[in-house]
Chains A and B, each alone.
Chain A
Amino acid sequence: MKEGWHLKKYNAIEVPEKEVREAIRAGIRKAGLSVSKKKRRKTGPLLLSAAAAALILASGIFLSPVADALAKVPFIGQLYGNFDDLVGKHLESQQLITRLNQSAADKGIKVKITSAYYDGAILGATFDVNGKVKGNGSDPPYAFYEIFGGDERISDSKELVRLEPKGKGFTGHIRLYYPASDLPENATFPLAFKAIGETEGEWKFNVPVEQLPYEKLKMDKAVSKQGIRIHFDSMIVGKASTAIDYTAIFPKGGEENQVRLEIYDDDGEIKSLMDGIDLEVKKEGQQVIVKGRTIILRPLNGDRPSLTVYPKVALAGEDPNEPLELEPFRIDFK
Chain B
Amino acid sequence: MEHLELIRKAKTGDPESFEKLLSLYGDRLYRTAFLYAGNREDALDIIQETACKAFLAIGNLKEEKYFSTWLTRILLNAAYEFLRKRKRDIPFASVEKFSGGTESIRMESMDLVRAIQRLRKSYRDAIILFYYQDLPIKEVAKIMKVPDGTVKTYLKRGKEELKSILEGWEFDERRMAPEKI
Q: Considering the chains assembled together, what is the distance between the CA atoms of A315 and B34 in angstroms?
A: 23
A321 CB within 8 Å of chain B:
yes
Q: Is the CB of A320 within 8 A of B23?
A: no
Chain A residues with CB under 8 Å of B19's CB are: 21, 24-25, 28
Chain A residues with CB under 8 Å of B23's CB are: 20-21, 24
Q: Is the CB of B99 within 8 A of A320?
A: no
Chain A residues with CB under 8 Å of B89's CB are: 321
Q: Is the CB of A10 within 8 A of B132?
A: yes
Chain A residues with CB under 8 Å of B44's CB are: 16, 19-20, 22-23
B149 CB within 8 Å of chain A:
no
Please encode chain B, from 66 to 101, with 1 for each CB lying within 8 Å of some chain A CB and 0 for all others.
Answer: 000000000000001001110111110000001111
B126 CB within 8 Å of chain A:
no
Chain B residues with CB under 8 Å of A314's CB are: 84, 87
Q: Known: A5-B131, A25-B19, A314-B84. Is A13-B47 also a contact (CB below 8 A)?
A: no
Please encode chain B, from 38 to 57, with 1 for each CB lying within 8 Å of some chain A CB and 0 for all others.
Answer: 00100011011111111110
Q: Considering the chains assembled together, what is the distance between the CA atoms of A2 and B98 in angstroms?
A: 24
1-48 of chain A: CB within 8 A of chain B: 1-3, 5-17, 19-28, 30-32, 34-35
Q: Is the CB of A13 within 8 A of B131?
A: no
Chain A residues with CB under 8 Å of B109's CB are: 9-10, 12-13
Q: Considering the chains assembled together, what is the distance between the CA atoms of A273 and B86 in angstroms?
A: 10
Q: Considering the chains assembled together, what is the distance between the CA atoms of A17 and B47 in angstroms?
A: 12
Q: Considering the chains assembled together, what is the distance between the CA atoms of A273 and B88 in angstroms?
A: 10
Q: Known: A9-B108, A32-B15. Is A319-B40 also a contact (CB below 8 A)?
A: no
| A22: min CB distance to chain B, Å | 8
A322 CB within 8 Å of chain B:
yes
| A43: min CB distance to chain B, Å | 13
Chain A residues with CB under 8 Å of B31's CB are: 10-11, 13, 15
Q: Considering the chains assembled together, what is the distance between the CA atoms of A9 and B113 in angstroms?
A: 9
Chain B residues with CB under 8 Å of A5's CB are: 131, 159
Q: Considering the chains assembled together, what is the distance between the CA atoms of A296 and B162 in angstroms?
A: 35
Q: Known: A9-B108, A27-B48. Is A271-B55 also a contact (CB below 8 A)?
A: no
Q: Known: A21-B26, A321-B83, A322-B121. Is A12-B100 also a contact (CB below 8 A)?
A: yes
Q: Known: A12-B101, A14-B101. Is A1-B134 also a contact (CB below 8 A)?
A: yes
Chain B residues with CB under 8 Å of A20's CB are: 23, 26-27, 29-30, 44, 47
| B172: min CB distance to chain A, Å | 18
115-135 of chain A: CB within 8 A of chain B: none
Q: Known: A15-B31, A31-B51, A314-B84. Is A2-B108 also a contact (CB below 8 A)?
A: no
B157 CB within 8 Å of chain A:
no
Chain B residues with CB under 8 Å of A275's CB are: 87-88
Chain B residues with CB under 8 Å of A25's CB are: 19, 51
B154 CB within 8 Å of chain A:
no
Chain B residues with CB under 8 Å of A8's CB are: 105, 108
Q: Is the CB of A271 within 8 A of B91?
A: yes
Please encode chain B, from 118 to 134, with 1 for each CB lying within 8 Å of some chain A CB and 0 for all others.
Answer: 00110000000011101
38-63 of chain A: CB within 8 A of chain B: none
A68 CB within 8 Å of chain B:
no
Q: Is the CB of B55 within 8 A of A28?
A: yes
Q: Considering the chains assembled together, what is the distance between the CA atoms of A2 and B129 in angstroms?
A: 11
Q: Is the CB of A260 within 8 A of B108?
A: no
Chain B residues with CB under 8 Å of A260's CB are: 87-88
Q: Known: A2-B134, A8-B105. Is A32-B55 also a contact (CB below 8 A)?
A: yes
Interface centre among A7, A10, A275, by most chain B C-beta atoms within 10 angstroms, is A10
For B40, the closest partner residue in chain A by CB is A16
Q: Is the CB of B120 within 8 A of A27?
A: no
Q: Is the CB of A27 within 8 A of B108?
A: no
A241 CB within 8 Å of chain B:
no
| B128: min CB distance to chain A, Å | 9
Please encode chain A, from 139 to 156, with 1 for each CB lying within 8 Å of some chain B CB and 0 for all others.
Answer: 000000000000000000
A284 CB within 8 Å of chain B:
no
| A3: min CB distance to chain B, Å | 8
| B90: min CB distance to chain A, Å | 8
Residues of B within 8 A of A (CB): 15, 18-19, 22-23, 26-27, 29-31, 34-35, 40, 44-45, 47-56, 80, 83-85, 87-91, 98-101, 105-106, 108-109, 111-113, 117, 120-121, 130-132, 134, 159, 162
Going nearest first, the 4 A-B pairs with the smallest beta carbon separation are A27-B51, A14-B100, A319-B121, A27-B52
